[in-house]
Amino acid sequence: MKELELYCIMCPASCTLRVIVKDREIQVYGNQCPRGVEYAKQEVLEPRRHVMSVVRVKNGDMPTVSVVTRSPVPKDCIWRIMEQLAKIELEAPVEIGDVVIRDICGTDIIATRRVKRIELL
């Protein structure tokens, strides 16, 4: 039996979780919502994270578009994603939810900022 103290990262409430790992069973205490249980189990088995960055965008009303992983990726995938993002430049317009990189580390990278196209005179 193993007892761990984790801080839930699912939302800023940052619940302090007491996690008891017994054989294959994981018991979670201290969570204020069911997502805490989900997080603790995932964290014990295979920690996953969101990756966020910005990518340059041409002819937009903003100089960059922000991006994030659609779902959290295994921690050791983070650097592969960042390396791929460094190679990209987008063209406005970009809408929230547009896929920036498809199928990487089991998810997509999607745009999280709306960038309108500015027509150059």
Partner 1 sequence: MNVLKIVVIGSGVVGASIARVLSRYQGLEVIVLEREPDVGWGVSKANTSIIHPGHEEDPDQHPLRAKLCVRGNMLWRQWVRELSILSTWPGELMLYTNTAEEKEARKYLEYAKRNSVPGVRILDKNEVQAVEPAVNPGVEGALYAPTAGLISPFEAVPAIIENAVDNGVKLLVETEVRNIRISSGRVLGVETNKGFIQADIVVNAAGLHADTISHMAGVEPEFKITPRKGEYILFDETVESKPRIILHTTPTPKTKGVYAITTVHGNLMIGPTAEDMPYEFKEDTSTSREGIEYIYREAARILKNPPPKNRVIRVFAGVRPEPPGGHWLIKAYSDPWGFVNVAGIRSPGLTAAPAIAEYVLDLIRETYDVKLVEKQKWNPYRRDITRIKNKRLDEIDELVKSNPNYGEIICYCKMVSKAEVLEAIERIKKIGARVTVDGVKFRVYTGFGKCQGSFCRWRVANIISMELGIPLQEVVVKHSPYGIGDVKKLWREKVSVQ
Partner 2 sequence: MEGKGECAVKTLYYDTVVIGGGPAGIAAAIKTREKGLKTLLIENRDVLGGIPLQCIHPGFGIHYYKQDLTGTEFITRLLDKLVESKTEYLTKTYVHSIEYIDYNDKVVNVISPSGVLEVHAETIIYATGARERHIFEIGVYGDRVDGVYTAGEAQTLMDIFGVLPGREVVVIGSGDVGLIMARRFALEGARVKAVVEILPYPGGLMRNVVQCLRDYDIPLLLGHTVVKIIGKKRVEKVIVAKVDENLKIIPGTEFEIPCDTVIVSAGLRPNIDLLEKIGVVIDPATGGPVVNEYLETSKPGIFVAGNALVINDLVDYAVEQGERAAEGAHKFVENNGLPSEKWIRVVKGRNIRLIVPHYISGKREVVLYARVSQPEKNVYIEIPEVNYRVFSYGVRPSEMIRIKLKPEHFKKMSSDDKITIQVTPRQ
**Which residues sit at the interface with partner 2, rule CB under 8 A?**
6-18, 29-30, 49-54, 56, 62-64, 66-68, 75, 78, 82, 96, 112-114
Residue 71: which of partner 2, partner 1, none does it interact with, CB under 5 to 8 A by kind?
Answer: none
User: Which of 2-10, 11-19, 39-47, 48-56 is the region at the interface with partner 1 (rule: CB under 8 A)?
Assistant: 48-56
57-86 positions binding partner 1, by CB under 8 A? 64, 82-83, 85-86
For the chain, what is the HEC assignment?
CEEEEEECCCCCCCCEEEEEEECCEEEEECCCCHHHHHHHHHHHHCCEECCEEEEEEECECCCEEEEEECCCEEHHHHHHHHHHHCCCCEECCECCCCEEEEEECCEEEEECCCECECCCC
- Which residue is listed with tokens 């580390």? 105
Smallest separation (angstroms) from partner 2 to the CB of 63: 5
14 binds, among partner 1, partner 2, none (CB under 5 to 8 A by kind): partner 2
Q: Which of 74/106 has CB closer to partner 2?
A: 74
